[in-house]
Amino acid sequence: MLNYLEILDRANDGPYMTEENWDLEKVSMTAKRLVKKYKLAWNREEIVVDDGALIDAIWQAGYEMAVELGAYSRSTERIIQLSQDEIDSGIRNMPQSIVMGEGKDARTLYARRPGDERAPLFFGGTPGTPVPEDLFMLNVMSYMQEPLIDLATCGTLTEIDGRVVRTGNPIEIVSTRRELQYMRQALTRVGRPGMGMLAAQSSVSELGDLAAAQSKYLRSCDSHLVPLLNELKMDHRNISRAVNSLEYGMINASLPCVIVGGLGGGPVGSAIVNVASYLVANITCLADYHILHPIHVRHVATSTRDVLWVISATAQAFARNAPAIIVADIYPKSGAGTKELLYEVAANAIVNAVAGGHLEGVGAADGLKPNSTGLEGRLMAEVALASHRMKMSLKEANAWVLKLLPKYEHVFGLENGNPGQPINELYDAKSIQPKDEWLKIYEEVKTDLKEMGLNL
């Protein structure tokens, strides 16, 4: 693989370009041209793509974009150029399996494919969502205790000892270390001390990442995020995250949050950008695995028709052409305590499990509020495993999603969304169990899914 010092050199010495010109002349125009070149279109009634030729064309277009554009450094306003040989080397070196965690709690992530006989794995937690300190332990333990959850993640601490956490401020060091202390304590309390984590989520800048790279915080068997900024961009903060991992040995998860309806245009152009983002992240983010997290330009959620389509197309593109470990974030519009949340989770779970991904979540209420609980994490795993047991085909999965959409799609038109309630109103803080009213809603939705034919 390319020596990472070369990436630093190119970020400093590459061709100059303003960020606005990168966005418009490079990303937007290239996406538009490639959509036209390959005559690509999407069908809003075919959410789970069942067209191998279309998937392969999206892959080829994304590959062309990665080779042609490379990445952009926001810190230096320089283009980080990548050759075709380097992109190909990144593909060849994508890990096909990774062991996370240790001892009896260790799990092996692997590159899945549609129809894979191996079931998906599940990260439980509220990735990236803001969580007050007094709710943090209750939040993470509600997921960690679930038997079907394999790995742990968490939200971001918004305050420490009553002090607001600010990006790039020394308090970010304190908050990230505090997060990891809570995570390790919570794992011990639920009897799963060796469980692997995707953590250091309270680190918005590189400060927290650097502070947490110690065995008592973030172990080498854990992973952290190395974001690729929108779209196809890096900066010195995130390059520092990658550099920091080189000798310490922690596992890197790339995170490109492609905006559907943004620079790539509609779902097809956004899928092209997502494919290109992974290929670039193999090199610039030193990615060991990839987070699949496209978001809607207006609704944020991953459960809209067009975002689910991008998820299906991107996961299949890699499964068919360059198998990689892909973990999909589930970010519903609705929050805990609502039926719509559970139907959104079910739709996401089916799409991701059938398309060849692992699953992470749930970042309910658009990931904007601490309104998430382990109960919807349980349903995420139950639905994904049911679709796996049923050997659900792509066509069958699409039929399921079309049946689920009418049960929640109306929430995208609500002026104030459907935020639900925070976890302390839905869980008993001492027993860490869902209260009767929330459990009743879960059971009602689960019964409905069974009556619809899902083998739960």
Helix (H) or strand (E) holding 355: helix 339-355
Q: How many domains does the chain have?
A: 1
42 assigned to some structural domain: no
Tens-level pLDDT at each residue, the chain (456 residues): 568 999 999 999 999 999 999 999 999 999 999 999 999 999 999 999 999 999 999 999 999 999 999 999 999 999 999 999 999 999 999 999 999 999 999 999 999 999 999 999 999 999 989 999 999 999 999 999 999 999 999 999 999 999 999 988 999 999 999 999 999 999 999 999 999 999 999 988 899 989 999 999 999 999 999 999 999 999 999 999 999 988 888 899 999 999 999 999 999 999 999 999 999 999 999 999 999 999 999 999 999 999 999 999 999 999 999 999 999 999 999 999 999 999 999 999 999 999 999 999 999 998 889 999 999 999 999 999 999 999 999 999 999 999 999 999 999 999 999 999 999 999 999 999 999 999 999 999 999 999 999 999
Q: Does a structural domain hold residue 186? A: yes
Transcribe 295-342 into DSSP letters: EETTTB-S-SHHHHHHHHHHHHHHHHHS---EEEE---SB-TT-HHHH
Half-sphere exposure (Cβ direction) of 331: Cα atoms closer than 13 Å:
24
The confidence score (pLDDT) of residue 255 equals 96
**CATH number of the domain to which 113 belongs:** 3.20.20.460
* Interior/surface letters 158-175, b for 16+ CB within 10 angstroms, e for the rest: bebeeeebeeeeebbbbb
pLDDT at 203: 84
Quote the pLDDT of residue 1.
52
Closest CA to 171 of 188, 154, 159, 180: 159
CA-to-CA dists, residue 376 to 153, 155, 291, 371, angstroms = 14, 15, 20, 11
**pLDDT computed for residue 248 by the predictor:** 87
241: left (phi over 0), alpha (psi -120 to 50) or beta: alpha
Distance set, CA 178 to CA 159, 172, 223 (Å): 11, 10, 17
CA atoms within 13 A on the CB side of 394: 19
pLDDT in tens, 120-179: 999 999 998 999 999 999 999 999 999 999 999 999 999 999 999 998 899 999 999 999
> CA 324, CA 432: separation in Å to the nearest integer?
36
Torsions phi, psi of 10, nearest 5? Answer: -70, -35
Beta-carbon contacts of residue 167 (< 8 Å; ≥ 6 apart):
204, 205
Domain that holds residue 177: 97-452
User: In this structure, how many other beta carbons lie within 10 angstroms of the beta carbon of residue 216?
Assistant: 10
- Tell me if 15 is assigned to some domain: no
Beta strands in 325-425 (DSSP E): 326-329, 358-361
The mean of the pLDDT values for the chain is 96
Distance CA 356, CA 98 (A): 16
